[in-house]
Structure 1
Amino acid sequence: MHTDDFWHLIDDARTGAVDDEDHSDALVRLLAQLAPGEIIAFQRRYREYKALSCTEPLWAAACLVNEEADDEGFDRFRDWLIGQGRDRFEAALADPDSLATATWDAQSIEDAENLAYAAPDAYRQLTGGELFLPDVALERAFTGRAWGPQDLPRLLPRLATRVGRTV
Structure 2
Amino acid sequence: MTDEAFWQLIGRAVEQPGDRDERAEWLTEELTRLPRAQVVDFATRLAAVRCRADTPALAAAARLIHAGQCSEDAFRSFQLWLLTLGRDRFDTVVADPDALADLPEVQALAARPVREWSAQDWPEWESLDYAAHEAWAEGGGGEYGLEQELPGGSGTVSAQAPVPVELPRLAALFGG
Normalised-by-shorter TM-score class? 0.7 to 0.9
Greater Cα offset, 119-128 or 51-60: 119-128
Q: What letter is aligned with 1:81?
A: L
Which TM-score applies when normalising by structure 2? Answer: 0.78
Normalising by structure 1, report the TM-score. Answer: 0.82
Q: Is the 8 A contact 1:21 1:111 kept in 2?
A: no
The match for 2:173 among 150, 162, 167 is 162
Match for residue 107 of structure 1 among 110, 119, 127: 119
Asked if residue 131 in structure 1 is aligned to residue 132 in structure 2, the reply is no
CA distance in 2, matches of 1:37, 1:135: 13
Contact 1:76 1:113 in 2 (8 A): yes
Name structure 1 gaps, 5 residues minimum: none
Residue in 2 aligned with 1:120? 133
AA aligned to 2:138 is Q
Higher normalized contact order (CA 8 Å, seq sep 6+, divided by chain length): 2
Is the 1:36–1:127 Cα contact (8 Å) retained in structure 2? no
Query: What percentage of residue pairs aligned between the two structures are identical?
Result: 30
Deviates more, 1:104-113 or 1:2-11: 104-113
- Looking at structure 2, the residues matched to 114 and 85 of structure 1 have their Cα atoms a distance apart, in angstroms, of 17
In the alignment, the residues of structure 1 paired with residue 99 and residue 87 of structure 2 have an alpha-carbon distance, to the nearest angstrom, of 14
Residues 13, 24 of structure 2: 8 Å contact kept = yes
Q: Is residue 32–residue 123 contact of structure 1 (8 Å, CA) maintained in 2? A: yes
Q: CA deviation at 1:140?
A: 6.0
Contact 1:7 1:86 in 2 (8 A): yes
Q: CA deviation at 1:158?
A: 2.0
Query: Do 1:21 and 1:114's aligned partners in 2 also have CA atoms closer than 8 Å?
Result: yes
Q: CA RMSD in A?
A: 2.4
1:36-55 aligned within 5 A: 36-55=36-55
